[in-house]
Amino acid sequence: MGLKSVLSKLFAARVNRHINHMRQNAVQLQHQTLLHLIKQASATAFGKDHHFQNIHTYEDFKLNVPVRDYEDLRPYIDRVTHGEPDVMWPGKPAYLAKTSGTTSGVKYIPISKESMPEHIKAARNALLSYIHETGKADFVDGKMIFLQGSPVMSKKAGIATGRLSGIVAHHVPAYLQKNRLPSYEVNCIDDWEQKVDAIVEETYDADMRLISGIPPWCQMYFDRLSAKAGGKKIKDIFPNFKLFVYGGVNYEPYRARIEESIGFGIDTIETYPASEGFIAFQDSQKDKGLLLLADSGIFYEFIPSEEYFNENPSRLSLGQVELNKNYALILNTNAGLWGYSIGDTVKFTSLNPYKIVVSGRIKHYISAFGEHVIGEEVEHALMSVAREEGVDVVEFTVAPQVNPADGLPYHEWFVEFGKTPADMPAFAQKVDRVLQQKNIYYYDLIEGNILRPLVVRCLQPDSFINFMRSQGKLGGQNKVPRLSNDRKIADALAGYII
């Protein structure tokens, strides 16, 4: 055991005491956070427009600050991106995180000098929580890789601008810099496929112990490593590789294939970072729930998902939430986002401490006939049957077919399999039954002959990689939506059907 791993255990114990304080005082810390944020921003343009000087309680806040998405906040954000100071948060942002929105095109999310350290602290604490619980710290003595976007920054009105993962690359603590791969030069390669090939060459003979990234792009890295090694498993290429850190998507659809590539069921840590803030991380290997970060400069609000599109939906603070109920997540941050609907839905798995799972996207659903099928339901239906049948799923997406050439409308599932079902119609039938059990509205539509059972379209190998390449969204933080209420993705994938 090296010096770094010994010291990391001591540091982990110290940090865990602070995390325990947060676990035990989350509601109080959230109240303090709201009042602190209001005080800090009271002299900004947004604060003056929304009477921050008169806000003393959460009820006051709700009366003065409406819930908005990016487009609704855009008049303020545009002022920020044009270089105006003191618009939503004191001064100018330290960075603008550039993201791709499904409805807003390119989005620019402000990151302040106050919010940036919270991103780094949360990522660090996720690893330290793992060390404290398991006692496993050897990974800090070897190499670590973070598959991320380019750290090259541009300027917008004098503000450094780039992808979140590229911005974070500039803030990796000094004690990890010598352990970190890829090199800065390789990280700056913009083309994702060239970048992955260069990472393979740079890491192939390294003592890789921790690998982090979005699962589908990590799988591409594993595939190319294995190809270079003549088909070897990752465990044989990196014998000390023991920890996989991921975020951005539900891991379960990728787990079987990734573990097959690695050669064993590796320890994993799920994180929930976003350009808007680092929201939660998995703090225990015994529990898949993610610990909500109650003292990280974010005040959270929760809208019951079934009320989200109502004119006056309920807005709840942390102390008002219930277990196992879907909520749209609303953020108020120390980078100046107010009443901001991030677009995700979450579900609480524990209230002591407060732990969540990400259950989907509030606008990613299918409700062509009022069924309101959500991501959590389709993932459960497909993956539970796939496990039962011994089938590997590489990637998938679902869309409604409202105007079929013949017969009733149906949900069309585009699935790329690693191992294809022996009997596809029987497989589709099982998936449909599970989905009916998960969603009573879908069940009623099937029973009432409004919809017919779902149809699975089997796609060619690498269909989703080729599709993402065609969209200019290969790699980085890009993800394929699981659900669409229109046919744009479905029609593009039709050419890949076997």
Question: How far is the CA of 11 from the CAs of 124, 219, 301, in angstroms?
Answer: 11, 32, 32
What pLDDT is stored for residue 100 in this prediction?
67
Phi, psi dihedrals of residue 214, rounded to the nearest 5°? -75, 130
How is residue 336 annotated by DSSP?
S
User: How high is the mean pLDDT of the chain?
Assistant: 92
pLDDT band at 480 (very low <50, low <70, confident <90, very high): confident
Q: According to the model, what pLDDT value does residue 105 have?
A: 64
Q: Which of 41, 61, 224 is nearest to 147 (CA)?
A: 224
Which range (77-86, 438-447, 452-461, 477-486) has the least confidence? 477-486
- What structural domains and CATH numbers belong to the chain? 1-49+82-297+346-357 (no CATH), 365-496 (3.30.300)
Match 């380019």 to its residue by tokens: 150
Q: How many CA atoms lie within 13 A of 35 on its CB side?
A: 8
Q: Is 186 exposed, middle or buried (0-12, 13-18, 19+ CB in 10 A)?
A: middle
Q: How far is CA 139 from CA 136, 210, 476, in A?
A: 8, 6, 24
Segment 469-482 mean pLDDT: 80
Q: pLDDT tens across 329-343, in order?
A: 999 999 999 999 998
Asked whether residue 1 carries a pLDDT value surpassing 70, the answer given is: no
As a whole number, mean pLDDT of residues 56-72 equals: 96
How confident is the model at residue 232, as a pLDDT? 96
Q: What is the pLDDT of residue 102?
A: 44
Concatenate the DSSP letters of all residues of 114-165 into one string.
TTHHHHHHHHHHHHHHHHHHH---GGGGSEEEE-------EEETTEEEE-HH
Closest CA to 74 of 108, 102, 115: 108
